[in-house]
Structure 1
Amino acid sequence: MTTMSVPAVHAAGLHKSFGKVHAVRGLDLTVRPGEVVAFLGPNGAGKTTTIDMILGLSAPDQGSVSIFGHSPRGAIARGQVAAVMQTGGLLRDISVRETVQLTAAMFDSARPVDEVLARAGILEIADRQVEKCSGGQQQRLRFAMALVSDPGLLILDEPTTGMDVAGRRDFWSAIRADALRGRTVIFATHYLEEADAYADRIVLVRQGRIVADGTAAQIKNLAAGRTVKASLPPSDRALLGGMPPAESVEYDAGRLTVRTGDSDAVVRFLLNTTGAHDIEVAANNLEEAFVALTGDEALTDTTTNTFEGDLV
């Protein structure tokens, strides 16, 4: 596995158009070795086009990409990068083990076949024909194929599609163990809870630009603060006029709901000024942040929400 100190991925000023469609618009991205990065965005945001340029499958109209200091194709030739795509890449009439053996034959130095089958959790079905494997098992097979060259960078496109809950948990346990050994992972997923639970860093893309880049907690905090809920006596409703400014205030059947960017101030007001009790404070979840930052109502300027310490 590559352990170079240079960035695992460095993309600078990427632009890519298809006819009149400007799919990627000046995108900059730097990923450190050993990071697990979720690369998220709505359909048509430019994720796939960016990943294609990182993998050398498409050349940028402007800008540059390097992987561990090499061109994408040079890094692939050295076995430094591998990808697990959602579909394709499998011969259905050979066995699981034969599939991985064929992949291993492409490299001068490859990990033992049974080792990568065990890492992917499919050693027990090594002699099964690919066409008889479930969708989740076929996705694990693609993972095993990607591990053969012991790549420093692993790019995953919807990696747990077709897996059951236990399979998804085992898969991400293996990914985290590899990251601790220095492997870099970039993944795209529609399972936002996976990004929340397993990514060191989340990069949100909208209209070909990065609109937010940070930890899951930092991304969530960009979406209109927190929600404060409390039981409030009807006689105290009139006191709410003195409450700190809030995005919205709702009162129904004795229950108060306040959406605010300063939950601490709202809680202090309720405790010191009213008879509120059973107070709850909840952070926004990643789905709410995702919708707020990438939806149609989001700002379309070039501002990127980044945080101190991030390389973007």
Structure 2
Amino acid sequence: MKETPAIRLSGLRKTFGSSTAVDGVDLTVRPGEVVALLGPNGAGKSTTIDLALGLARPSAGTAELFGGDPRRAIRDGRVGAMLQGGALLPTLTVAESVALVAAAHKHPLSVAEALERARCTEIAKQRVAKLSGGQMQRARFAVAVVSNPDLLFLDEPTAAMDVEARRTFWVSMREFTAEGRTVVFATHYLDEADAYADRIVMLARGRIVADGTPTEVKAVVSGRRIRATAGFAWTGDASAAISALPGVRTVEYRAGLLTVVSDDSDATLRGLLAAHDDLHDIEVTAHTMDEAFLALTDQRDPEGAIR
């Protein structure tokens, strides 16, 4: 029997007057996937999440969660959400906020478990109005998971968190996803998408411009980077000779560090070592998610999407 998708977006479009926020998005997410939504500001990430949750009415197209109306899945407690605009009552404590949401669902987690999952136990008795930005994000996460959802939407979940708080958050998220839950998170931290997502969906100008594993998305930027410390004098002739090696696209030399981008790193490296036996500390690396992000979101033709 064919598995019902956790999310199915078909021809989804949303306009605000003359502005188009989401422009024909087709997206299917299988149960158990962890999907990152990437894109520059204004790419349509938050609007896509709002449409998927039924919080906004599409101008065209449809959104389904678990094969039906998103609002039904939410009423059944199958969906949790941590949204940028989600406000908690400032006079309640964190524990009271979680308990209030738990009371609205049929089969919630215990308040204590939700607080533990979100690493909020130590701030459970603090009033919402007194929380720092990072603490507020953790409290929102506790509220999002207390319904014990099968599907979780997170919109910029680690905004306002410091490095240590981000690390702690993703440890708790790994525990959540290890149970086979489906997670869709929008983020502007490219390292988070690379490290924690099974799949990356990149948006630009309201359209999907890339959809694949982190490795597949990074492979859009062809070639590899060779870095080495050079023991030879850098001259115009040396630059020209290296630029003429097989596969070389760009050459840069700065403060003794040689950086070569090549479409054929093996051939380039053999040529470099044949000509310069004084190279050392050699590194050959794939392109980064940052470079793929810049290359894809700077496309002038949205029809050139990769799948």
Alignment TM-score, normalising by the size of structure 1: 0.89
In structure 2, the CA distance between the partners of 1:241 and 1:35, relative to structure 1 (3 Å rule), is closer
- The Cα shift of 1:160 comes to 1.5
Alpha-carbon distance in structure 1 between the residues aligned to 2:163 and 2:276: 45
Is the Cα–Cα contact under 8 Å of residues 35 and 183 in structure 2 kept in the other structure? yes
Structure 1 pair 299–165 and aligned structure 2 pair: CA distance change class (3 A):
same
* Structure 2, unpaired ranges of 5+: none
- Residues 1:281 and 2:279 are matched in the alignment: no
Q: Is the 8 A contact 2:4 2:67 kept in 1?
A: yes
Q: Which residue number in structure 2 is paired with residue 164 of structure 1?
A: 162
Q: In structure 1, what is the Cα distance between the partners aligned to 2:118 and 2:227?
A: 44
Match of 1:7 in 2: 5
TM-score, length-normalised on structure 2?
Answer: 0.90
Amino acid at match of 1:287: D
Q: Is the 8 A contact 2:243 2:250 kept in 1?
A: no
1:129 aligned partner: 127
Matched, 1:148 2:150: no
Matches within 5 A, 1:1-312: 5-230=3-228, 231=230, 233-234=232-233, 237=238, 239-240=241-242, 242-251=244-253, 255-275=257-277, 277-278=279-280, 279-295=282-298, 298-306=299-307
- Mean Cα displacement is larger for which, 274-283 or 211-220? 274-283
Cα 1:142–1:251 change in 2 (3 A) is closer
1:148-202 per-position Cα deviation (integer Å, ceiling 9, x unaligned): 2111110001111222322221211111121121111111112222112111111
1:237-276 C-alpha deviation (Å, 9 max, x unpaired): 2643641143212345665322122222211222345546
Offset at 1:220?
A: 1.9
Separation (CA, whole Å) in 2 of partners of 1:254 and 1:111: 58
Q: Is the 2:227–2:258 Cα contact (8 Å) retained in structure 1?
A: yes
State the shift of 1:45 in Å.
Answer: 0.9
CA offsets 1:21-67 (integer angstroms, 9 cap, x no match):
12222111111111111101011111111111101011222222111
- Code of the residue aligned with 1:291 in structure 2: it is L
1:284 is aligned with what amino acid? H
Aligned residues: 301
Q: What amino acid is the match of 2:70?
A: P
Once residues 299 and 290 of structure 1 are traced to their aligned partners in structure 2, the CA distance between those partners, rounded to angstroms, is 14
Aligned CA-pair RMSD: 2.1
The percent identity for this pair of structures is: 51
> Could you give the per-residue CA deviations for residues 183-232 of structure 1, whole angstroms, max 9, x where no partner exists?
11111112222112111111110111111112222222212422212326
Residues 224 and 265 in structure 2, CA contact (< 8 A), matched pair in contact too: yes
Answer yes or no: is the 8 Å Cα contact 1:84–1:146 preserved in 2: yes
Instruction: Give distance in 2, aligned partners of 1:260 and 1:239.
Output: 14
- Contact conserved, 1:23 with 1:207, CA < 8 A, in 2? yes
Contact 1:14 1:25 in 2 (8 A): yes
Distance (Å, rounded) in 2 between the aligned partners of 1:53 and 1:88:
15
